[in-house]
Amino acid sequence: MPREFTRSDRVGDAIQRYLANMIQQEVRDPRVGMVNINDVKVTRDMAYAKVYVTLVGADEDESRTSVSVLNKASGFLRTMLAKELNMRTVPKLQFYYDHTSVRGQELSSLIDRAVAADKAKSDDESE
């Protein structure tokens, strides 16, 4: 019977859980606001972890700044992860801004406007 999840998936999930708490509690930089960790992709050799984040209520410039601050703090966060995870080596963390949630909101807004315009047009034709 094959496994449902690979080891890198399980490690990614654990890193995601621990990082969410660590960033909130341990990173004291005011440039880092409220961070949502969307996904963590760990390479098969457990050497690197790509951490995809979004920032609540931040514009593009603030997001870039926050991601650069997180990348500079990645060594500290990696050390904290090593204390929590029972692994021989902890992956090096690379933070990336995730545009999917912003793009999803834009598409949802476009769909809502199209539906409203279509409904208004059908109401005008029925009268």
Give CA–CA dist 66/43, Å, rounded.
24
In the chain, the N- to C-terminal Cα span, in Å, equals 63
Give CA–CA dist 40/95, Å, rounded.
9
Would you tell me how many other CB atoms lie within 10 Å of the CB of residue 13?
14
Assign residue 46 a region (left: φ > 0; alpha: ψ between -120 and 50; beta: otherwise): left
Q: Are strands 35-42 and 48-55 parallel, antiparallel or unpaired?
A: antiparallel
Query: Tens digits of per-residue pLDDT, 54-108?
Result: 988 878 788 889 999 999 999 999 999 999 988 889 999 999 998 887 788 889 9
CATH fold of 7-98 reads GMP Synthetase; Chain A, domain 3 (3.30.300)
Give this prediction's pTM: 0.80
Domain parsing of the chain, residue ranges: 7-98
